[in-house]
Amino acid sequence: MSDDEQNVNAMNSSLANHDMMITLDNDKTITTVSPPPPPSHVYFTGYKLPHDHPCENFPMPPPPADKKRTGPRPCPVCYLPVEEAIAMMPNAPSFSPILQNLTYIHEENLTKSEFGGSEFGGYPSLKQRLESYVIKESMSIHCGLGHNTGFDIDDSDLFEMNQCRGVLVASAIFGAYDLIKQPKNISETAKKDVCFFMFIDEETAIFLRNTSDLDNSKRIGLWRIVVVHNLPYTDPRRNGKVPKLLLHRLFPNVRYSLWVDGKLELVVDPYQILERFLWRKNASFAISRHYKRFDVFVEAEANKAASKYDNASIDFQINFYKTEGLTPYTEAKLPIRSDVPEGCVVIREHIPISNLFTCLWFNEVDRFTSRDQISFSTVRDKITSKTNWTVHMFWDCQRRNFVVQGYHRDIIEHWPPPPPPPLPPLLLPLPRAPVVFVPPPSTPINETPAVSALETNMEHIVSNPTKIPSARRRRKFSSRRHHKVVVRTTP
């Protein structure tokens, strides 16, 4: 082997971990040859059901013609059978536009921001908030769960949460506000492979132990119970936003999650829900739109009218968003059809861009009011303006198809007891009706023509009971009554 060849081999050996190799040509010239590029990342890009599939051409039916029920109601949804839905589960993650690596800021010495925020949220400054909406390939942001700031979980529960992979169904009850509702119509595969986690606080745990529902197994039906200690907020609703929006922080190995508010009962298999609202739509985040309101300004006024939060805080948040460009919803936002979600159910895939969205959404809830419907569109629009990522907002009647809303515990406990069942009737012999003989009339009876009940009622309305109108006036009234009956019976 010549000296040149020995030198080349030595250089190749030293560059074994680099993207360059050196070879010696016959003419003794040295050239560089790049090795084959590494295989590119494989991403899920969606699918289409066959054209003749019943779910592919499933029309949205018109609302039921029940005038007595004017409020929200469920509508039919075409789900795949559970086995087919499981088979459609993607083998690869969805693509996360621009953002590929997301880390979280944990500061030891916290300084309060200009306004709002908490130790649990890390007190991000307004400058940090602004920078968090500049989407880059690698980002580091505040996202709650600071060190020693609350929402403490036992190590045994953290271990179980880290073991959860694949699909997660999560819920929470704080302040013993609701009763635990068991999911229904769950397949055996989901019972075995899907994680069902219910977060509760110590007050709720005491209530459950007193009612003999919670024991050392930490399970109530399908739910694995996790008791959270040292809640970071005094408002139970704001505490509920921690697991709702930060499931990717609590379950780092989960691919897909379905959040269900504690007041709801899940009645459809989670694999069918994921297939219908995420995988079939090639979406990484899905939430239902509000059944009635689609404008943030209208939603804010409704929250104030219902005393959901103090009016001054709601006004401050809306005015702050107005300075950033928030405007009432118009058709100019199409294909976006609503700025207001019905946020009691969140369906999502845990990829960097959707994790960023829920982190920034949580930061708004931490800084401003806990009414997450008000901050939803601001965060969504700031991210979508810089990426091609979007949120799939489906009809609220479709959400009501797979969850059933129940009553809060305090309402149920104040219901009056049901009335006792009626006693069975005594089977006594009925008395025989007396036979009455009516003799025939001695003189002919002048019978008047029979009239309908409607005409009889109308006669009582338009006539004077103390004065009999003349025959001419009766003919006039009769003609008028006939006209009204025809108009009312033609529709």
CA angle 299, 301, 302 (to 5 degrees): 65
How many CA atoms, within 13 angstroms, populate the side-chain half-sphere of residue 61?
11
**If we measure between CA atoms, which residue out of 207, 348, 186 comes closest to residue 279?**
348
Greatest CA separation found in the chain? 148
Res 71: pLDDT = 72
Segment 101-151, tens digit of pLDDT: 999 998 888 888 788 999 999 999 999 999 999 999 999 999 999 888 999
Q: Are strands 195-201 and 138-141 parallel, antiparallel or unpaired?
A: unpaired
Which of 214-218, 309-313, 338-342 shows the lowest mean pLDDT across its residues?
A: 214-218
How confident is the model over 219-231, as a mean pLDDT? 96
**If we measure between CA atoms, which residue out of 53, 57, 7 comes closest to residue 30?**
7
Res 474: pLDDT = 45
What is the residue-wise DSSP string for 179-244? Answer: ------S--HHHHHHSEEEEEEEHHHHHHHHHTT---TT-EETTEEEEEEES-S-S-HHHHHHHHH
How confident is the model over 265-284, as a mean pLDDT? 98
How confident is the model over 172-199, as a mean pLDDT? 95
Helix axes 296-305, 311-323, angle to 10 degrees: 170
pLDDT band for position 450 (cuts 50, 70, 90): very low
Asked whether the predicted pLDDT for residue 21 surpasses 80, the reply is no
How confident is the model over 198-223, as a mean pLDDT? 90
The residue ranges of DSSP E strands in 109-165, in sequence order, are 138-141, 152-153
Residue whose structure tokens are 């109308």 = 458
Res 308: pLDDT = 93
pLDDT band for position 413 (cuts 50, 70, 90): low
The 8-class DSSP code of residue 279 comes to I
pLDDT band for position 40 (cuts 50, 70, 90): low
Res 18: pLDDT = 41
Comparing 264 with 70, the larger pLDDT belongs to 264
**If we measure between CA atoms, which residue out of 242, 241, 243, 246 comes closest to residue 355?**
246
> Which range has the top average pLDDT, 4-13, 212-221, 275-284?
275-284
Segment 276-302, tens digit of pLDDT: 999 999 999 999 999 999 999 999 999
How confident is the model over 299-325, as a mean pLDDT? 96
Q: Which tokens is 461 given?
A: 């309305």
Res 60: pLDDT = 79
| Dist CA 258 CA 21 (whole Å) | 49
| Dist CA 70 CA 86 (whole Å) | 36
Res 74: pLDDT = 92
| Dist CA 275 CA 53 (whole Å) | 15
How confident is the model over 201-216, as a mean pLDDT? 88
Residue whose structure tokens are 């709601």 = 314
Asked whether the predicted pLDDT for residue 232 surpasses 90, the reply is yes
Residue 202 burial class via C-beta count within 10 angstroms: exposed 0-12, middle 13-18, buried 19 and up: middle
Counting residues of the chain whose pLDDT is more than 70, the rounded percentage is 73
Segment 481-491, tens digit of pLDDT: 333 233 333 34
Spans of all domains in the chain:
3-33, 82-413
Counting residues of the chain whose pLDDT is more than 90, the rounded percentage is 64
pLDDT band for position 427 (cuts 50, 70, 90): low
**CB of 271 within 8 A of CB of 187?**
yes
Is the pTM value of this prediction over 0.95? no
